[in-house]
A and B are shown apart, each in its own frame.
Chain A
Amino acid sequence: DVKVTQSSRYLVKRTGEKVFLECVQDMDHENMFWYRQDPGLGLRLIYFSYDVKMKEKGDIPEGYSVSREKKERFSLILESASTNQTSMYLCASSIRNRATEAFFGQGTRLTVV
């Protein structure tokens, strides 16, 4: 089974902290994605990566950065957490030619206080 694993299910952080959300996939997928999900707004793409050390901004990249040093790992970084970044964060991966589906992790519920 394809597995996409996010390092934490729940996180509580303070305003101004630097926050790292980690995602690891075990299927040698080239593409990896970070989304956030908010009620009424659905899933919105923050960043994606189609190869090691490659990254592209999604629709809402402000306040976030990413790192992809190894193919299997894609990290989302909140440089200085703010309360409006309280959300559910979802990581996904897929193969480059997109012949098969995208697979999602279990999500990280981040609360910034």
Chain B
Amino acid sequence: QQQVKQSPQSLIVQKGGISIINCAYENTAFDYFPWYQQFPGKGPALLIAIRPDVSEKKEGRFTISFNKSAKQFSLHIMDSQPGDSATYFCAASFEGGGNKLTFGTGTQLKVEL
């Protein structure tokens, strides 16, 4: 019920390409879906987040697509750059659960020149 499944585990994209990472969840009580970016040896940094009342949210080159009926959400990184190379985690939480984040397993993204 609390699990968030993330894929792919790793991803290699050419510079300028689109990086797509997918997540699926089971618990329909989840009402907050953030994406975090983590560089080696650093804490996760919030990238973008969405709530279930919208199907898409865009901030700069980053877009979250949300499909409530399928219980899936994805992160799209447009015009991927080498500086985007990092590990990305999706997560989910709900207020009734104390706002505890349940994390996906992470995707290691490498953007090649």
Query: Do A and B originate from a single complex?
Result: no
Binding site for B on A (CB under 8 A): none
Binding site for A on B (CB under 8 A): none
